């Protein structure tokens, strides 16, 4: 079982090899893109995701799993039990430009990438 994380694909097509035991966590700004995967699909809603999301198995504003707080925007504080905040929203990595203060526990995802939580990037295609 693998857990993959993506963010800020803004209407692009996400396609990668997976199986039904895998999980894809999308950290918002999906914007009705296409998701071609057998993985269980979780959408953490972003500021551009204000519409029906029936393509996803689970939709939320944020959640805690294995000491990781998954959100779209960087969290100001971590909830109890969290050691890291994996988030998107900051496309170029300059949090101060967006009004956020970078904390040591922030893990920023670049847009249009799929990250395996084992810290390995896989051959994933995101198509415009």
- Cα 97 to Cα 19, 42, 84, 89, 100: the distances in Å are 38, 28, 21, 12, 8
pLDDT in tens, 16-49: 889 999 999 999 888 888 899 999 999 999 888 8
Q: In Å, how far from its chain's centre is CA 66?
A: 15
Structural domain harbouring 100: 3-127
The number of distinct structural domains making up the chain is 1
Instruction: Give residue 127's region: left, alpha or beta (phi > 0; psi -120 to 50).
Output: beta
Digit-coded pLDDT (tens) for 59-107: 999 999 989 999 999 999 999 999 999 998 987 767 877 888 989 989 8
- Whether the CB-CB separation of 55 and 41 falls below 8 Å is answered with yes
pTM listed for this prediction: 0.87
């Amino acid at each position: 079982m693998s857990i993959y994380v993506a963010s800020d694909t803004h209407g692009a097509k996400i396609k990668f090899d997976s199986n039904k035991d895998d999980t894809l966590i999308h950290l918002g700004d999906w914007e009705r893109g296409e998701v071609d995967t057998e993985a269980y699909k979780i959408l953490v809603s972003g500021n551009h995701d204000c519409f029906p999301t029936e393509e996803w198995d689970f939709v939320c504003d944020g959640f805690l799993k294995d000491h990781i707080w998954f959100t779209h925007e960087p969290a100001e504080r971590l909830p109890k039990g969290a050691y890291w905040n994996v988030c998107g929203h900051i496309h170029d990595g300059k949090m101060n430009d967006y009004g956020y203060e970078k904390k040591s526990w922030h893990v920023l995802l670049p847009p249009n990438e799929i990250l395996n939580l084992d810290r390995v990037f896989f051959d994933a295609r995101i198509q415009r």
